[in-house]
Structure 1
Amino acid sequence: MYAVFDNDAAAADGGDSTEWTYGQAYDDARATAAALYRLGVRQGDTVLCWLPNGRDALRVWYGVNLLGAVHVPVNTAYRGSLLGHVLANSGARVLVAHALLVDRLQHTDGAQLQEVVVIGGGPDDPWPDALPGAPRVHGPSALRGRPEDFVPPERPVAPWDTMAVIYTSGTTGPSKGVLVSYVHHYSTVTALLDDDITEHDRYLLNLPLCHGGGTEVAYCMLLFGGSMVVTEGFRTAEFWEVVRRHEVTMCTLLGAMVDFLLGLPPRPGDTDHPLRAACVIPLTRQALDFGRRFGVDVYTGFNMSETSAPLVSPLNPQRTGSCGRPRPGVQCRVVDEHGIDVPDGTVGELVLRADRPWSLFHGYHGMPEATATAWRHGWFHTGDAVLREQGGDFFFVDRIKDAIRRRGENVSSAEVEAELLNHPAVALAAAVAVPSDQSEDEILAALVLRAGVRFDPEQFLAHLRPRMAHFMVPRYLRVVAELPVTETGKVRKETLRAQGVTPTPGTGWPQGSRSPVTASAEPAAAHRVIDVCALALDRECWRTYFQGLGAVAPTYLRAFGRHATAVFGAEYPRFRARLDAGDQDGAVDLLVAGRPERVDTEALLSTMDDNGVVHQVLMSCGGATADGDDVNSRVAAVAAKAPDRLQAWAGIDLTDPDLAVAELERCHGLGMRGFAVTPFWQGVDPRDAAYDPVYARAQELGMPLWLHTGHHFSRHAAELCHPRNVDWIALRHPGLPIVAGHAAWPWVLDLVSVAQRHRHVYLDISSHRPPWMARPGSGWEPLLLYGSTALRGRVLFGSATWVNADPVAALARQVADLGLGDEVTDAWLYGNAARLLGLGPG
């Protein structure tokens, strides 16, 4: 339907269209306000409007505001938990909903709704009253009133009153309701269009009225006395027909809309139309091509629901990516994470404030903490990364938040993930943006499945479609063993985005395929990789590991608990609750419950292949398992199934040297090729001469030593893991290769000195993230300097997966990104380990 809003009732399309004059609109708004008043709506109340674009949506909006009430438009694509959140947060007692949408309320708790008016069906059709929360359900007649019955609000509506609550996409959590005043809306439309629009213009409103982009168009034409053509949405095939038939002079085009229009076959009459100007966001090369091909003036800007068009360009800017310059009345800065201005040409966060009071949003509805977070130090923090050129133009770089922009919609990754996790097969999920072949983004969902489940991607997508807005359903799925996470347990979405869309092995689907499933593993690294510190443990071995660790260093479970639960697919709140209750064993049981009973060697080898790993050292922690076995034996058994690709190193407890020697010899008989000592675990000083027999026997057996070095959280002294211990052992056992595990951070310089003294000492960088090494002041500077010169032949690569869950291929790429050069990078990732392990010259 097209609703033409005009002074003199200019005719619209004679088919399904209707025409609406200003006078008719005012009468309808007063009549609707009278009906809403009968339903109990008063000044300051919030009223939910869940309707598609059209005359009903407009008259409800205008009627609500005539009462001095607050208009809360709801996206017609919403359903499930997202819909439930908006209903509850709005605090509204009255909802006006379309007949085709009302059934979705069955999947919410109804919040505090008391009155639900259903329109769009037959006249006064009987509507079910068994909705959640048992609100009264009315037919369309409940919204029919008489203009003369309109009751004005008790006090005049003020410019600073809240006009609407516009819900954002919830880029970092639940959607936030932006409080928009009348001044805010006025400031936005005058900033964008004040100098370029007249009462003779007709604007195409093809964006939903639940978005600022839609409401701003409608408000703009009211303000300037022009007219508008309202459609239910953007349709490529109908766009130019609508423009020509209804003499549209202006429009807004977001993202992929430009690409779709450029994709239409060229025709002689491409410039034969009344459209004179288009606001295009973002300003891409295709946007400029659109302007030239169709003879349309193009301009752009930067805006959010929270702001009032702080950046605006002139007509036909030529710098793609530009958002324009600050308009009069706003102050824009580019700052670092501390709120300090960064130099021109440097990426930072856009923060802003306005001279006119109330011209920016005045809070998030019912979310005071979110409001305080956004308004810091007197500036609104947009969460968007931009740079300002010396000439004054601002350029959008990326979203600091994990938002996804798809088909003109802002999509919350958090809300996508909430629905993904509702599927019984999914243990963990992350949603990220990947490039679209049109523009903007597509959605990729990375899934960690629960143990033992069967997963059918088509059935999974069929499960999602009725529960999510269509633009939220992922285009791509990737099934992974674990999600990459930070040291604090947050998913590293930048890693998932960098991996992009990859083929699924064995399917023949190419890179960028439209198939719904993408690769289950990382794309292979550019360099060959040997991982000298990998953990491949089954459930009982992990239980032994964490119980032992928790007994001596319970801080590890708290410090890395969020990370570990994310990696293992456990529920962090329950895990933390058990720790807080003193039930450490229960917390460990919860953590390892999803681990397999036995390690699948074939699956392990497949993952290695996908990540470019040619050989892997499987580290054991040692100790007995609860089922009467021991960790060393089980790790040895895994490696024995593929001795050309895997080798196991035993975990040895030095507390009793005689027992340690016996266990070392037993493990050697099992085929284990090295051994690991973690001094803080047993509280032993590894340089004590009492342990020399262990080191001597290891040298005789040809089993290198891996020794934990660097910081730890145990109750024992930090000195137990200082690199000077490596020095003492190396002095007394010059024929024993020693790997300083984790490279002794923060004593990296000390370890570098020790390694320069002893050619049989190696440095293993496992458990650390390479990008951190390149940061000034990180403490890794000595390794980067000497590791590419004097010690270039003795730096080793390792993963240590539960502490650093990034896939090996991603870690290897991060090492390559350190800028060491191909020769040094290859030595770190492969060559040095190949020589140490006797796998070749390297």
Structure 2
Amino acid sequence: MSEPTIAAPGAHPLRALSPRDRTVQELVVRQFRDRADDPLLRGPADRTYGETHRQVAGVVAWLEARAVGEGERVVVVSENRVELLDLFLGCAFAGAIYVPVNPFLRGEQLRHQLEDAAPTLVLCEQGTHDQVREVLTGFSDPPELLVLGEGTWELDGATPPRPSTRELSAGHPPSHPTGVLYTSGTTGPSKGVVCPAGQFFWWGVLTAEYLRLRPSDHLYTTLPLYHINALGAYLQAIGVGASYTFRRGFSASRFIAEAREAEATVTYLLGAMLTILWKQEPSERDREHDLRVALAPATPPDIFERFRERFGFDLVDGFGMTELNLVVSSLPEATRPGRMGWVLDDFEARVVDDEDIEVSDGEPGELVVRPREPHSMCQGYWRRPEATAEAWANLWFHTQDRVVRDDDGALRYLDRMKDAIRRRGENISSFEVEAVVANHPAVAEAACIGVPSELGEEEVMVHVVPQPGEQPSGEDIVRWCADRLAHFAVPRYIAVVGDLPRTPNGKVRKAALREQGAATGTFDREAAGVEIRRG
């Protein structure tokens, strides 16, 4: 008999639950009960489903003993460790709201999130204790602060949760706020996204369907547990009875070896991770692993097929946000370079202009989305009713992402709306320019922006971070782009820099780059007399 699989969209067995039972708690408690002896966590901690059940039950009792009430916030400021997973589920069953905070925040950024969350309880690692304590001392009524020690569930000066045999009960409806996850804040203070129990349920179901997960799979992530992707991967594993491993961070040089050691079959490559991995020196061991598929949104089209051939596993593109869910994707065999896929049946989507009027296929516009399933998207922004209303203008969630819908319904990603460049009547995708520049052998990373043009509109500028030991010239980059981009998209300005300004979540702060503009010393291909061929 062949192993059961989540064979196609719409096939997840948990879809059989009634709408009222579609919660993260129901997803978890059924598997804890039915798969008690099966492995769930396989590093850095090793636990079965039953052992995890008992630990989470202990966390629920521990929260109750500390008088953490319904709807109260529990903040965790920590890098990846198993306690974050326990607290996430413990809060869900206790009715509290889990708030993971980036441990690399400092100063006003940390203060903003802690003040905004207004927690009852804060836990942090020793390495972040001084910063967190300094912020909390300024509170008129500071919350309790506990410090996580080196070992699992070691608490300095406090009794930790102990495994409990009490039975967990789902208890809360899909609408119940379960987490507040903060956005990166690339253009202003970060906003807390209020994620209900139903949204986490669908994070566990939808991506699992498009990765075709099965109980024998082993999911492996190096992404941070203060972001939705790594939490979603944990729920995807639980939802099908698979196992899960996390690491503290991504290392391109060690990624394949660590995935091999973990016996991983499924992984997650977001943002620049895939390009950085591709740029590693090819090895005869690149295919020595058990990986069969990776969720890899926004894979550069020009390396898509070559990456699959070199490393020997499938790539699944797609589109999702903390505020939404996985709303666009395609199965591995249908994934095509440069196309995110099709809108999932569980959502409605349109591509609209500045007036929210739907545009024709082939025309660029903003992607707007709304759910067909209740509580499968966020409830809004924590304590930000105006921002929530703005995002949901005309009863559609505005993603601020610019896309094109092809005539077969598939969507192609172009840019963030604020990052799109308009040059001499042409719309240019900074995302596409970045992908081309980043594929230059001497380039580690690239960020593309528009800067004011003396002719009106904008000129294309690229900030380039070189590979170690390399120093590409501006003319090198221009010539490379001229062979791979439309003439109007070839950058005029090139700045070779040591690094890029980033938010605490690692996203490039393009607003800061735009403020700098084309500073003195920036290569200007027009001033240098470098000509490019049209057509």
Q: Normalising by structure 1, what TM-score?
A: 0.47
The corresponding residue for 2:261 is: 245
1:791-810 alignment runs, 5 A limit: none
Indicate if the aligned counterparts of 1:53 and 1:208 stay in contact, CA closer than 8 A: yes
Q: Which residue of 2 aligns with 1:279?
A: 295
Q: Secondary structure at the match of 1:292?
A: helix
Equivalent in the alignment of 2:146: 117
> Partner of 1:410 in structure 2?
none
Q: Does 1:235 align with 2:251?
A: yes
Q: Superposed, which structure 2 residues align to 1:52-451 within 5 Å?
A: 52-105=79-132, 108=135, 110-111=138-139, 113-121=142-150, 139=156, 141-145=158-162, 147=164, 156-194=171-209, 196-284=212-300, 285-317=302-334, 319-401=336-418, 436=438, 441-442=446-447
Could you say what secondary structure the match of 1:282 adopts?
coil
CA distance in 2 between partners of 1:115 and 1:151 (Å) = 28
Note if contact 1:52-1:76 (Cα within 8 Å) is conserved in structure 2: yes
Change (3 A) 1:254 1:440: farther
Q: Distance in 2 between matches of 1:201 and 1:502?
A: 38
In the alignment, the residues of structure 1 paired with residue 268 and residue 305 of structure 2 have an alpha-carbon distance, to the nearest angstrom, of 14
Mapping for residues 688-767 of structure 1, pairs under 5 Å: none
- 1:216 deviation in Å? 0.4
> Residues 203 and 235 of structure 2 are in contact (CA less than 8 Å); yes or no, is this contact kept in structure 1?
no
Could you say which residue in structure 1 is the equivalent of 2:47? 20
| Contact persistence 1:117–1:142 (CA under 8 A) | no
- Separation (CA, whole Å) in 1 of partners of 2:114 and 2:65: 21
How many residues are aligned here?
435
Code of the residue aligned with 2:218 in structure 1: it is R
**1:240-284 CA distance string (max 9 Å, x none):** 222222221101111322223223333444333211111111122
- 1:682 is aligned to none
Code of the residue aligned with 1:104 in structure 2: it is Q
Looking at structure 1, the residues matched to 344 and 406 of structure 2 have their Cα atoms a distance apart, in angstroms, of 16
Shift of residue 343 of structure 1?
1.3
Structure 1 residues 11 and 49: CA distance shift in structure 2, 3 A: closer
Could you tell me whether the CA contact under 8 Å between 1:162 and 1:179 is conserved in 2? yes
**Counterparts of 1:11 and 1:226, CA distance in 2:** 7
Residues 124-146 of structure 1, C-alpha deviations (whole Å, 9 max, x = no match): 99xxxxxxxxxxxx726343345
What is the SS of the residue equivalent to 1:261?
Answer: helix
* Equivalent residue number for residue 500 of structure 1: 462
Which letter maps to 1:371?
A: T
Unaligned runs of 5+ in 1: 126-137, 404-431, 447-482, 487-491, 529-609, 613-820, 822-842
2:514 corresponds to 1:521: no
Distance 2:265 2:464 in 1: 43
Which structure's relative contact order is higher, taking Cα pairs within 8 Å and 6+ residues apart? 2
Distance in 2 between the 1:236 and 1:120 partners? Answer: 28
Counterparts of 1:354-753 in structure 2 under 5 Å? 354-401=371-418, 436=438, 441-442=446-447, 498-501=460-463, 510-511=473-474, 512-515=495-498, 520-521=519-520
Give the structure-2-normalised TM-score.
0.72
Structure 1 position 121, deviation (Å): 4.5
* Aligned twin of 1:475: none
Identical residues among aligned pairs (%): 29
Counterpart amino acid of 1:260?
I
What amino acid does structure 2 have at the position aligned with 1:294?
F
Structure 1 segments, 4+ long, off by >6 Å, are: 122-125, 150-153, 432-435, 483-486, 516-519, 524-528
Specify which of 13, 38, 43 is matched with residue 70 of structure 2: 43
Secondary structure of residue in 1 paired with 2:185: coil
For the residues of structure 2 that align with 1:11 and 1:186, how far apart are their CA atoms? 18
Whether the aligned pair in 2 keeps the contact of 1:34 and 1:151 (CA below 8 Å) is no
Equivalent pair of 1:49/1:74 in contact (CA under 8 Å): yes
Deviations 1:12-47 (A, max 9, x none): 98xx84311111111111212222222221121111
Note closer, same or farther for the CA distance 1:194–1:320 as it changes in structure 2 (3 Å cut): closer
Residues 617-674 of structure 1 show CA distances to partners (whole Å, capped at 9, x for unaligned) of xxxxxxxxxxxxxxxxxxxxxxxxxxxxxxxxxxxxxxxxxxxxxxxxxxxxxxxxxx
1:472 corresponding residue in structure 2 = none
Counterpart-to-counterpart distance in 2, 1:515 and 1:61 = 37
Q: What code does the residue aligned with 1:313 have?
A: S
Q: CA-to-partner distance for each residue in 1:435-490, whole Å, 9 max, x for gaps?
A: 6566765599x9xxxxxxxxxxxxxxxxxxxxxxxxxxxxxxxxxxxx9699xxxx
Cα distance in 2, alignment partners of residues 361 and 89 from structure 1 = 18
Post-superposition offset of 1:51 = 1.9
Residue 162 of structure 1 aligns with an amino acid whose one-letter code is P
Distance in 2, matches of 1:524 and 1:237, equals 32
- Structure 2's unaligned 5+ residue stretches are 1-31, 421-433, 466-470, 475-494, 501-515
- Cα separation, 2, equivalents of 1:265 and 1:522: 32
Give the Cα–Cα distance (whole angstroms) in 1 for the partners of residues 277 and 314 of structure 2.
Answer: 15
Are residues 356 and 516 of structure 1, via their aligned partners in 2, closer, same or farther at CA, if it must alter by over 3 Å?
closer
1:711-756: per-residue Cα shift (whole Å, max 9, x none)? Answer: xxxxxxxxxxxxxxxxxxxxxxxxxxxxxxxxxxxxxxxxxxxxxx
Deviation at 1:339, TM superposition (A): 0.5
Q: Mark the CA change 1:62 to 1:498 in structure 2 (over 3 Å): closer, same or farther.
A: same
SS at match of 1:47: strand
Seen in structure 2, the aligned counterparts of structure 1 residues 36 and 319 have a Cα distance that, compared at 3 Å, is same
Structure 2 CA distance for aligned equivalents of residues 124 and 293 of structure 1: 41
Shift of 1:199: 1.1
Instruction: Report the residue type matching 1:115 in the other structure.
Output: E
Is the CA contact 1:168–1:177 (under 8 Å) kept in the aligned structure 2? yes
Contact 1:7 1:227 in 2 (8 A): no
**How far apart, CA to CA, are the structure 2 residues paired with 1:215 and 1:122?**
21
CA RMSD after TM alignment = 3.8
Q: Matched residues in 1 for 2:464 and 2:303: separation?
A: 26
Quick one: distance in 2 between partners of 1:36 and 1:360?
A: 27
CA contact (8 A) 2:41 2:48 kept: no
